[in-house]
Structure 1
Amino acid sequence: MKKIGVIPLRKDSKGIPGKNKKKMLGRPLFSWVLTEAIFSDLDAVYVFTNDTEIISYVEREYYWTDKVFALLRSEENADDTASTESTMLEFSEEINHDYDVLCLLQATSPLTLAADINTVLDKITTEKYDSALTVVNTHRFTWNSDGTPQNYDVFNRPRRQDFEGLLIENGAVYATKKELFLDSKNRVSGNIGLVTMSEETLMEIDSLADWNIVENLLMGRQKAMKTNQRIQYLVLDVDGVFTDGGVYYNKDGEMAKKFDMRDGMGLEILRENNVEVITLTSENSKLVAQRMEKLQIKEAFFGIKDKYSFLKQFLATKNSSFGAVAYVGDDVNDLTNMCSSGWSFAPANATSIVKLNADFVLGSASGAGAIREVCETLLKYNKRYD
């Protein structure tokens, strides 16, 4: 049974301009659900958008997986009046209805996990429902506009533990069999299964205040998932970690960066103690490539904007997890990895938001012994596991 997911994105947003591309915890909003879809049981995931910038980003960033595709959506189905169903029908026609189960994923539900997607799919593939969707069980009392209660007796108010609550769509995940979708032209129909997600996933992102709340929820969730174990991988950003963040230019372009020689010795000692060193940078720099080669760092990756999804895939290929990672970063594009890794470090001159969320703020600045300090700290930490 072929299961595919579609993430419809519009170029414009009135509530929050450029919402789908806006950085949430250092990553474009849509990349949160896209990454979870990649690691779910879906056979393929399509980003369906009228934004060519997003299409270019997807094609560039997710080269490491054969599950992700980006397709151009018509302008007619991307205006304020277009329904999600009309967009789904256009998408289905675009791929010649080549699927058995179609799964709709919403970029504005960044708290969605691969497990949620899989549970919805299982409702159809295993439990034999025709379609399924995610809901939240909320214990709230609702009222009619005429001042009458909808779901309880005001003279016999139930205790929370005695109240079944209400099941409300959270708009995160929907799935349906192809034949029912093409017949009903609706995202769910027939015998419908329900999958309950946590109450915080009911939060909608319609304003900057909503955005900040959801971002904090994501930050807290990633930190809560941290585990403690022996550190096997030290993952380092480059600019602002290896270097002081500065770069010298001449008329021909990038001319020089400053590195601290003591950092190189620390990394060599760390490798001798069975910790693999990895660099992950969003830049493409010949100078950095030369320095990594000099330091004999074989796992050096350049031009990586979505560092979290890339590292998640890298660890999967190593049959490892974020718990085995110590991560050093200095700016917002490192935030998700820092909130997810077993141990995170920030140089003394990192940005304030990074230092606020790091497990350990170093006494040394970047390009001035910060990495050496990390190496010495990790050697001491790993002794408890040796």
Structure 2
Amino acid sequence: MSSNSHVALVIPARYGSSRLPGKPLADLLGKPMVQWVYEKAQRVPSAQTVVVATDDERIADAVRAFGGNVVITSPNHPSGTDRLVEVMGQVEADIYINLQGDEPLIRPEDVEQLAQGMLFDPSVDVGTLYHAIEDEEAQNPNVVKVVLGQAGNALYFSRSPIPFPREGDQHPGFKKHVGVYAYRKRILEQYAHLPASALEQTEQLEQLRLLSAGVSIRAFQVEPTGPGVDTPACLEKVRAILEGKPYAPISPLANVKLLITDVDGVLTDGGIYYDATGECLKRFHVRDGLGMRLLEECGIRVAVLSGRDSATLRKRVADLGIGLHAFGVKDKYAACRALMKEAGVTPEQTVCIGDDSIDLPAFAACGLSYAVADAPSYVKQHATGILSLAGGQGAVRELADAILSAHGMEDVFNSAKGFHSVSGGAAQ
């Protein structure tokens, strides 16, 4: 055990955040969020140094105001680890632990466990944390999973649910990676010169650069952690936890006034059939149709968007009385914006549903996006949410019900009285 090693805790804190600008300065019970993280870091027994690394003077001023140490870094770093490499040139230590500035609920004892793991075994190059999760959470591509070897070293990190449960009774369970890292100084010195690997670029996970270069990452197990802060909704949840109050989240679907749905692979199962005359035949799900009509009857517009055009498709849309549509579309981004303009709504009031790469421009155009359950993982990772049903199997109805519930209108689909109030325009 190396008891003389100097441990530095570094808290990267960027002002720019696409989903929550100024996030480190967000107020939590009268203190900026970065102060909560800093004070938790100060309670880690093995840490001799705690410092905030930021590229913004507003954050630096806030840190100085509560008596914290701060280092100004370049705004051009592509990752938190790159920022840590710059800090290394200004803060001397043997082990650097990278805490996230948006994790006000971090437990000091977890960070201490990580520090002790590095101090006890000098052969460990990089350390990190993980905890067990349920199968449902493992399906979320925004949750990074890790698989471990017998020594506790990471074999791989992925947004996909790994390991694949081919035999359910033989599965060891899914493990969620907690994004806290400890590095030895020599590894950070190497990191600055390592090229980005194909795996890193594919998964968009910087730790895969280290694994690709042959650097071992030891993972230490902790109890399930509290939520971080990525969005205004996350901020409200963390604020409620700190206050000891129950949290009732407001669904982002509550603001939706327009649903844009793809056809092949969403309203249908993706199969394309031709009759003897060459006419294209498609199989639609009746529950999707009723869900679309219920939305329309409740004042939420529905638009059908397709890269194809056929008499079959036009007949189905006409039968459902859907007046907003765009067929034979080549540019789905522009088409979505045109449909929003026609409906008189903003991107923030629009949700779309898709199943494949061709729908990613629509995801980018709309404020919210959902992928069907059988969409590829590389499509799911760009979606706001993932549905439990596959395309052509009621996925659109699942989203329609969620929208109506978010608007407080669930009675139209779960009670006879509620359905009767809108049934005059109902169709399947």
TM-score (norm 2): 0.43
TM-score (norm 1): 0.47
Larger radius of gyration: 2
* Larger relative contact order (Cα-Cα within 8 Å, sequence gap ≥ 6): 1
